[in-house]
Amino acid sequence: MCGISAVLSLRGCPAPSSDDQLKVLDDQLSASLDLIQHRGPDARGTWNSGDGNVYLGHVRLSIVDLSPQANQPFHDRVDEVYAVVNGELYDDEYYRELLGSEYDFHSRSDCEIVLALYRHYGLSFVSYLRGEFALILWDARRKVFIGARDRYGVKSLYYTVVNNRLLVATEMKCFLPFGWKPEWDVQGLRECGWIFGAGTLFKGVQSLVPGHYIMSRDFKPIQDAVYWDIEYPDKRMPEPRSEDEMIEGVRARLMEAVKIRLRADVPLGIYLSGGIDSSAVAGMVAHLVKEEGTRLGNDDSHILSRIKCFTVQFDKDSGADESDIAQRTAEWLGIDFHPVPVTEDVIVSKFEDTVWHSETPMPDTNGIGRLAMAEVAKSHGIKVILTGEGSDESFAGYKDLTQEFLLETDHSWPSSLSGAELTELKQKLKASYSMPGLPEIGKGLPESTSRMLNNTTMLSRLLIIGRLPFAKWTDIYTTTRPETAHVESIDGRVRDAIMNRWHPLHSAEYVWTKGFFCNLLLRYLGDNIDMVHHVETRPPFLDHHLSEYANSLPPSLKIKYSPSDGSFTEKYALREAVCPFVTDEIYKRMKKPYLGPTTFQVNGALHRLFRRLTSRENVDALGFVDCEKVQDLVRKAFEENDPWAFRAAFSVCQFVVLSQKFGVARATV
């Protein structure tokens, strides 16, 4: 719902010696907020400590409590604690009642509870926050600086050190006015640290890990700590709950997660696709509005036809369009349907903006579709959107997870597959999961790394995303396999759980969710893109009350095997839980990933864009990419309709855009 930028002078940083130097910092903070003004068009606020040591900046998109009293930065009545918050926090009314006698609330803003909780619980306040958030808090009396991020990384938060000043912001571009000179982290690119770890594309810039906080005491270097992590049950322990009980548990928690996200003082809508996740959200919203009289944002009419939903509409012959299915769902629910055409011309026109705002190379056109949807939602006056992200991560919705499911018997469930059945099914699946034109998954992986990953291959499959045509000189950074680098970076307790305690399905879910999902998907298909057009998105499936319950389910209730026809039903528990709220078509439809088209005409608008962006001059300016290989990829992408060549060329084009817009220095040995 907002954007934040903050500065903390670390020990050794020269104190400003004049008012002019203090003004320079003020101006830099203001310029950093200018770069994310689109995130907060309704208000802007700054605060500084007066001595040049601490600066907090905030731009606001007003969602709950539209009054000036809810503008940020927040401060307590004794001017000791200050905070800037980006996001939406739920259960705030409960904490207002609980803490009202000891904290004097200044507004009705949900985000103000951060100060009350900090005063009441101290550093543990972060554990009591429910929602999607990134925040900075400064305790002036104790000289404690805290930055925190929500459990799944819905909201972004980055940090770096420039001239011995800690810079923390919603987007990396905010660092530019402070003198940051971006350089490519070539080792991180080769080891895919920007995909799976806390690293980014740039040297010295870190992404605060979801479920973590950073803290500096008395202007000392920051410490990073965990306040929450994903957990799964011990695979050796039998599940005592019945199937019906668990399905009802999912249904009740999802309904609550949807309901609390309908609160807003502005209009609210839905992003709807042809999948079960967004369809379930839409169905539950319709049920809550019609049957339970729940208010939809600022609309208390309870008229279903006033619920607006928005759907990307790719070309009908692209193989990527789901708008017809989404329209049938909308008609069945009686809600207002708005298709958003995303043609080749739209993709070309929004390509560079999508890269600049997401700050994330992601080789698919679907992010451009997301940007187009946000623009149309804004044109209809919608400021809050409910989405379906996060379901696949907790309920095993991805096709690749079936292979991980078959690695071991599910001892927690009495009717699970036997060892012999697993072996037979794995052989049958092997051919259907091959990827023509790509190296064998996991080929050459050290056996020690395979053991640390408990033989799961999800990590190796995801590395396809980081498969760029690297220049030969970058091979100096290939002594460590990306899979090895990532698994060695994981907390030792988690690594032990992957090897010994979790079922391989859950281990693969963890690797996906803690890396690719938060670092790429939620940036390219989430908040960074939606906020370009002042739209706040809320994903009910990422409510940790729901996800913790979903993570506790037996693998055999996430993926269910049918011996009669040899089929697998992904997201079985969720499918049964939401059956009353979706059409029969959606209930029976198997998972289709939300991917954009990859086939376009030779010499068409997108081909011309690719050729311009991948000119020898532009590619050479990157320094870490082989120009000849890039030219061949572009040729294969359009002349041979090679989808993998298209995706690799797409990524290179994105890197070129980032290079130009960020002014990144050419990478060298």
Confidence at residue 123, expressed as pLDDT on a 0 to 100 scale: 96
Q: How far apart, in whole angstroms, are the C-alpha atoms of residue 611 and residue 560?
A: 46
> What percent of the chain lies above the pLDDT cut of 70?
99
Answer yes or no: is pLDDT of 571 > 80: yes
- Cβ neighbours of residue 239 under 8 Å, at least 6 residues apart? 233, 412, 413, 554
More confident site: 431 or 1? 1
**How does 488-501 read in b/e, with b if 16+ C-beta sit within 10 Å?**
eebeeebbebbeeb
Q: pLDDT value at position 548?
A: 98
Q: Which amino acid is at 642?
A: D
Annotated binding site for ATP: 312
Whether 592 has a pLDDT exceeding 80, the answer reads no
Binning pLDDT at 50, 70 and 90, where does residue 465 land?
A: confident
For the record, the structure tokens of 509 come out as 């879910």
- Sequence ranges of the binding site: 110, 312
Return binding residues for L-glutamine. 110
Question: 277-297, pLDDT tens digit by residue?
Answer: 999 999 999 999 999 999 999
Rounded CA gap, 374 and 54, in Å?
A: 34
What number is the average pLDDT over the span 246-253? 98
Structure-block tokens of residue 225: 């700590």
- Residue with structure tokens 């220049």? 471
Q: What is the mean pLDDT of residues 652-665?
A: 98
Q: Which residues of 599-636 are buried (b: 16+ CB within 10 A; e: fewer)?
A: ebeeeebbbebbeebbeeebbebbbbbbbebbbebbbb
The residues annotated with a catalytic role in the active site are: 2
Residue written as tokens 């060298």?
668
> Do 268 and 340 touch, CB atoms closer than 8 A?
no
Task: Give the CA diameter of the chain.
Answer: 80
pLDDT of 18: 81
Mean pLDDT of 294-302: 96
Q: How many residues does the chain have?
A: 669
Could you read off the pLDDT of 606-615 as tens digits, one per residue? 999 999 999 9
Mean pLDDT of the region 201-215: 98
> Is 19's pLDDT higher than 80?
yes
* 548 phi, psi to nearest 5 deg: -65, -35
Which residues have CB under 8 Å from 432's CB, separation 6+? none
Question: Tens of pLDDT along 396-442?
Answer: 999 889 999 999 999 999 877 877 788 888 777 776 666 565 667 77
Q: Which two tokens stand for residue 11?
A: 């020990």
Q: CA 360, CA 415: separation in Å to the nearest integer?
A: 43
Which helix (H) or strand (E) covers residue 226, if one does? strand 223-226
- Is 80 exceeded by the pLDDT of residue 466? no
The burial class, CB within 10 Å (0-12 / 13-18 / 19+), for 27 is exposed
Tens of pLDDT along 356-384? 999 999 999 999 999 999 999 999 999 99
pLDDT at residue 419 in the model: 78
Q: What is the pLDDT of residue 473?
A: 97
Question: Is pLDDT of 320 > 90?
Answer: no
pLDDT value of position 470: 97
Q: Which of 516, 515, 503 is nearest to 455 (CA)?
A: 503
Q: Is the dihedral of CA 34, 36, 38, 44 positive or negative?
A: negative
Rounded to the nearest 5°, which phi and psi values hold at 521?
-60, -45
Q: How confident is the model at residue 272 (pLDDT cuts 50, 70, 90)?
A: very high
479-521 tens-digit pLDDT: 999 999 999 999 999 999 999 999 999 999 999 999 999 999 9
pLDDT at residue number 595: 86
Domains and CATH numbers, the chain: 2-226 (3.60.20.10), 400-517 (no CATH), 605-662 (no CATH)
pLDDT for 439:
65
* Average pLDDT value over all residues in the chain: 94
What span, in angstroms and rounded, lies between the C-alpha atoms of 61 and 384?
Answer: 10
286-300, 332-346, 450-464: range with lowest mean pLDDT? 450-464
- pLDDT (average), residues 77-95: 95
Tell me, what's the pLDDT at 435?
Answer: 58
**Per-residue confidence (pLDDT) for residue 58, from 0 to 100:** 98
Residue (of 222, 225, 327) closest to 282 by Cα position: 327
For residue 546, is pLDDT > 90?
yes
Name, in order, each residue with C-beta under 8 angstroms of 317's C-beta and a sequence gap of 6 or more.
none
